[in-house]
Structure 1
Amino acid sequence: MPASPSTARAINDRLALRLLQQEGPLTAGQLKTLTGLSRPSVADLVERLQVSGLIRVVGEAGEQRRGPNARLYGIVADRAHLAALDVRTQGVSVVVADLVGATLAEATLPIGSDTGTEPAVERAVALLESTAHEAGVRRLHSVGIGAPGLIDPVTGELRNSTKLPAWHRRLVAALQQRLPATVLVENETNLAAVAELRLGAARDLDDFVLLWLGQGVGAAVVLGGALRRGASGGAGEIGFLPVPGTGGLPSATGCDAGFHALAGAAAVRDLAVLHGIDGEAEEAVRAAAAGECPGGRGDAFLDALAGQLAVGAAAVAAVLDPGCVVLGGEIGYAGGTALATRVEARLAALSPLRTAIRPTELGGEAVLRGALLAAREAAQAELFAPAS
């Protein structure tokens, strides 16, 4: 059955808005070419979107063109404002942006482990409020939060975990209670994968696994261009993966003897010390990748680290055959191509399945980028919805 005129108009409007979001300001002629619609149909949708306050004239195309056909139309960026939070065990980072994702203000606040739950929540909320005020934003439409831990796929809530500070769970509830905004929470590694898919190292892929290498270890699975969370929201808890070389097995309550023991920041730091390289894990990996370690220590360290990371990557390849693994997080970013090429070589010796290894392009910023994408999509889904 063909779509009704109102449904067809709604579909055309959403298509035009998506193109304006992806391509930036466009003329009516460019919209006609990209949508395949007739000139009268494009003229009608431009008028509808202007009347609804979603687009406006933002300039003209080319110095030689003037008049209606040269007008550039763009999304009204200040129609709604968004925020993203990256919640870590020792602090929180915030970014405030407009509807097209342009950053207006950002800030970071450390929160020590000796800070009480309620004071920690208040500091995080105050940081968001002050950052919004700095950006000149009075009201936030949507807030995306990236946090460590499992997200319940049914309720969308952050599950309780004895390994995480209590203020993490309270922060989400506090923001939902105190802000007249849509508040979304997602696992940090999943958000990082979405950011790499849309903006980073995996933007040309439909299938890949992001291996997050930071204070903790995680993975995010993207198949067919879609994030896969698993039945309980735990897809990618690779720190619990039983692997050789850890001297034991993980348990339901701890991943200390799982892959985490080979790839977590503490393990990476200990491996660096064994090779005569001082400093925290990220610093050691960056120095080794940059060739700053004397006597071949850096190469030996990266070779050893690549061997440990390849163990987990081989398990991922054997089960999912994603074709590509992106080394994400601060350590993956610090290692760059120098580490990625070594992991790919070691993996090729362990697995018959050809799997490319790429370094992240976004590093530690990936969580905030992913959270902002989630907030923007939530806002646009509401604002761009056809009128009833």
Structure 2
Amino acid sequence: MTPARTASPRTARAINDRIALDLLVEQGPLTAARLRDLTGLSRPSVADLLQRLAREGLVAVVGEAGEERRGPNARLYGLVADRAHVAALDVRTHGVSLVLADLAGRTVGRAAFPVPEGERAGADGVIAGVIAALDDAMRGAAVPAVHTAVLGAPGLADPATGALLPVSSLPGWHARLPGALRERLAAPVRVENEVNLAGLAEHRGGAARDLDTFVLLWLGHGIGAAVILDGALRRGASGGAGELGFLPVPGTGRLPSATDCDGGFHALASSPAVRALAEAHGLPVPDARDAGAAEQAVRAAVAADEGQNAAFLDELAGRVALGAAGVAAVLDPGCVVLGGEVGRAGGAALADRVARRLRDLSPLATEVRAATVAGSPVLSGALATALDAARGELFGAPR
């Protein structure tokens, strides 16, 4: 029997440092005594740890605690949050939104660049506008540099190179933006499919925070899925795992092709299809040019869930259940989370209907939940990913 290996003193110190830093991120400033309680380390070990992290510029004394006790107050040690900053970007065809955050995860700046209608084909102008918005946000937040940026966008991100693969339906500036950001920031810029980032956000602090395995089904202008298995995001061999818009399903009248998903699940559950379904049920629908028309129609139907509204939601749930059944048959995730603009608008009312229809289609027990991350789940997922990268480099070995 091979004897168990013990960690070297250097490795043990690195592990303990990371544990302490993670605790300071999660709980805020702590005294040395509290760190001893939480880590189980000895007094000398914690003292050495704090001195070491202070020399590295990661920890500093930020105040005092114990004002009500006799004797000198205990020092509070906190993370030096401005030791590094990260950027998260949500890239859509109609614009780009971004946030800047410090190492503690506090948002310090925001910006948005709506793409002018007449410039959607003008790649140079759009890229220059996004860079200018980023520069303004960095100046306003007094952020001198960005350690890591994560960009979420539609389409496929090559898992080997990190490049955004060109898709004919996306504007040309999408594929060029990551390179422009790398040049401006002189820092790593990671590209990820936006649905994958939304899935990570739901896993970290949303509807699936208690699960290690689930699938986020994105119902919006585009259709996609984020596959989380055993706590890890699965991208597939080419980064295309979850491209459910191409899933062949009954009811579309034709099959999808390698270059056109209109004959697949996209034709049943994308925002344009949902808007058309609402019209077919005689429901008032905003102008088709309104990007949020489908979302508004679903919200209105949920608010008045009877008659034509209920019939519309029932048929929509039947459509969504077809895609969910395909996911369940192949992956058996145990849970499907409905996200995207339509999924979030439908909330629990739509999720419950999909669950009932799914029970009729699949022998596999599959819970259906509504996404719960507030704001932009893409930005939330991108920010979490960027912070993981920055902390991994600066903090050392994970716990």
Which of 86, 90, 105 in structure 2 is aligned with 1:82?
86
Partner of 1:153: 159
Matched, 1:306 2:317: yes
- Matching residue's letter, 2:222: G
Query: For residues 219 and 383 of structure 2, what CA distance do their matches in structure 1 show?
Result: 21
CA distance in 2, matches of 1:160, 1:198: 29
Q: CA deviation at 1:113?
A: 5.0
Residue deviations 1:238-266, cap 9 Å, x none? Answer: 11000111111111111001000111110
Partner of 2:30: helix, strand, or coil?
Answer: coil
Superposed CA deviations along residues 306-349 of structure 1, whole A, max 9, x for unmatched, are 11000000111111111111111122111111111111111111
Measure, in 2, the Cα distance between the counterparts of 1:204 and 1:131. 35
Contact 1:84–1:372 (CA<8 Å) still a contact in 2? Answer: yes
- Is 1:325 the equivalent of 2:336? yes
Q: Work out which of the residue numbers 104, 117, 123 in structure 1 matches 2:123.
A: 117
Q: Which residue does 1:94 correspond to in 2?
A: 98
CA–CA distance in structure 1, aligned partners of residues 300 and 274 of structure 2: 13
For residue 69 of structure 1, report the CA deviation from its aligned partner: 7.3
Q: How far does residue 59 in structure 1 lie from its aligned partner after superposition? A: 3.4
Matched, 1:287 2:293: no
Q: Which runs of 5+ in 1 are unaligned?
A: none
1:201 aligned onto 2:212: no
Comparing 20-29 with 65-74, greater Cα deviation is found at 65-74
User: Take 2:242 and 2:71, find their aligned partners in 1: how far apart are those partners?
Assistant: 54
1:364 Cα shift? 5.5
Whether the 8 Å CA contact 1:323–1:355 is kept in 2: the answer is yes
Distance in 1 of aligned mates of 2:34 and 2:362: 48
Query: Matched residues in 1 for 2:176 and 2:69: separation?
Result: 56
User: Are 2:153 and 1:168 equivalent residues in the alignment?
Assistant: no
Q: Distance in 2 between matches of 1:66 and 1:172?
A: 57
1:126 maps to what in 2? 132
Aligned length: 384
2:243, 2:28 → 1: CA distance?
A: 38
Task: Tell me whether 239-248 or 330-339 shows the greater mean CA deviation.
Answer: 330-339
Distance change in 2, residues 1:68/1:297 (3 Å): farther
- Counterpart CA distance in 2 for 1:237 and 1:67 is 63
What letter is aligned with 2:371? T
Q: CA RMSD in A?
A: 1.7
Q: Which amino acid aligns with 1:357?
A: V
Q: Does residue 261 of the first structure (1) align with residue 272 of the second (2)?
A: no
Aligned twin of 1:225 = 231
1:47 aligned to 2:60? no
Q: 1:251 corresponds to which residue?
A: 257
SS at 1:114 equivalent:
helix
Assess, with a 3 A threshold, how the Cα gap between structure 1 residues 5 and 290 changes in structure 2: closer, same or farther.
Answer: same
Counterpart Cα distance in 2 of 1:114 and 1:166: 14
Distance 1:50-1:202 versus aligned 2 partners, 3 A rule: same
CA distance in 2, matches of 1:69, 1:53: 23
Q: State the match for 1:16 in structure 2.
A: 20
Aligned pair 1:216/2:227, yes or no? no
What's the offset of the Cα at 1:138? Answer: 2.1
The equivalent residue for 1:5 is: 9
Q: Hey, what's the Cα distance between the residues in 1 that align with 2:219 and 2:374?
A: 10
Contact 1:330-1:363 at 8 Å conserved across structures:
no
CA distance in 1, matches of 2:57, 2:79: 9
C-alpha contact 1:330 1:364 (8 A) present in aligned 2: no
Write out per-residue CA displacement over residues 16-61 of structure 1, whole angstroms, 9 at most, x where no aligned residue: 1122222333332332232222222122112211221111233344
**Deviation (angstroms), 1:63:** 4.5
Between 70-79 and 142-151, the greater mean CA deviation after superposition = 70-79
1:65 shift after superposition = 4.2
| 8 A Cα contact 1:212 1:328, kept in partner | yes
User: After the TM superposition, which residues 340-355 of structure 1 pair with which residues of structure 2 at under 5 Å, given as runs?
Assistant: 340-355=351-366
Aligned-pair distance for 1:73? 2.2
Q: Which amino acid aligns with 1:264?
A: S
Amino acid at match of 1:308: R
CA drift of 1:299 comes to: 1.6
Which is further off, 68-77 or 52-61? 68-77
Counterpart Cα distance in 2 of 1:68 and 1:303:
67
**CA-to-partner distance for each residue in 1:123-150, whole Å, 9 max, x for gaps?**
1111111122222222222111001110
- What one-letter code is carried by the residue in structure 2 that aligns with 1:55? V
Inter-partner Cα distance in structure 1 for 2:77 and 2:39: 15
Superposed CA offset, 1:84-140 (max 9, x none): 110001111111111111111212222145311111111111111112222222222
What is the deviation of 1:178?
A: 1.8
Residues 45 and 77 of structure 1: is their aligned pair in 2 closer, same or farther, counting only changes over 3 Å? Answer: same
**Counterparts of 2:71 and 2:163 in 1: how far apart (Å)?**
52
Secondary structure of the structure 2 residue equivalent to 1:204: coil
Shift of 1:363: 5.3
